[in-house]
Amino acid sequence: MTRRSLKISVTIGYLLLLLCVVILNPLRFEHIVPLGSRLRIHPFVDSLNDISYARGSSWFIHWFNFLGNIFGNIALFIPVSFIAILVFRMQQFWMVVLMACILSLIIETVQYCTGLGVADVDDVILNTAGAAIGFYICKRAYSFLSE
């Protein structure tokens, strides 16, 4: 397998994994979100309100879900930067972050249109932050390995 085909395979694999996690997750098909509840457009307000309203059978599960959503959205987009830098040769921070933001907007739009999730502005912010963090991790790792 050549380097190019490996990069393409990793990119396609990541995008399929991302698609499965955020859209095609079987749990999403069990509970289609009603149209009136599919959109959360107030940055951080809705997430902060989630702290007050427990989801799950205990506070531990509630906090696990809450923190899992925050850190999961960040972690899910860290690989986007690695792919952008190593596969697509993007070297400018703003280009990588813009691409991640657009990808996140596409995902949130699909979730809104299909009801297979909630289109949440916080997800776009956290996904974009994950790509920004990934950019710096990738650049640091690359410079460390180049020494």
Strands (E), 6-93: 39-40
Q: How far is CA 125 from CA 66, 83, 119, in A?
A: 16, 19, 12
Q: What pLDDT was estimated at residue 82?
A: 95
Report pLDDT for 57: 66
Per-domain residue ranges for the chain?
3-146
Structure tokens at 146: 């180049």
pTM of the model: 0.90
Looking at residue 55, its pLDDT comes to: 63
Instruction: Record the tokens describing residue 138, joined without a space.
Output: 């990738």
pLDDT in single tens digits along all 147 residues of the chain: 788 899 899 999 999 999 999 998 888 888 889 998 899 999 988 777 777 776 666 777 778 888 899 999 999 999 999 999 999 999 999 999 999 999 999 999 999 999 999 999 999 999 999 999 999 999 999 888 777
Q: How far apart are CA 29 and CA 116, in angstroms?
A: 6
DSSP SS3 for 120: strand
Residue 143 CA to residue 49 CA, distance in Å, equals 41
Residues 6+ apart with CB under 8 A from 36: none
- pLDDT of 54: 64
In the chain, the DSSP E strands lie at 39-40, 119-120
Nearest Cα residue to 17 out of 77, 92, 90: 77
The crossing angle, in degrees rounded to 10, of helices 3-22 and 93-114 is 40
Instruction: Record the tokens describing residue 71, joined without a space.
Output: 């850190």
Give the angle 31-32-38 at the CA atoms, nearest 5°. 120
pLDDT at res. 142? 83
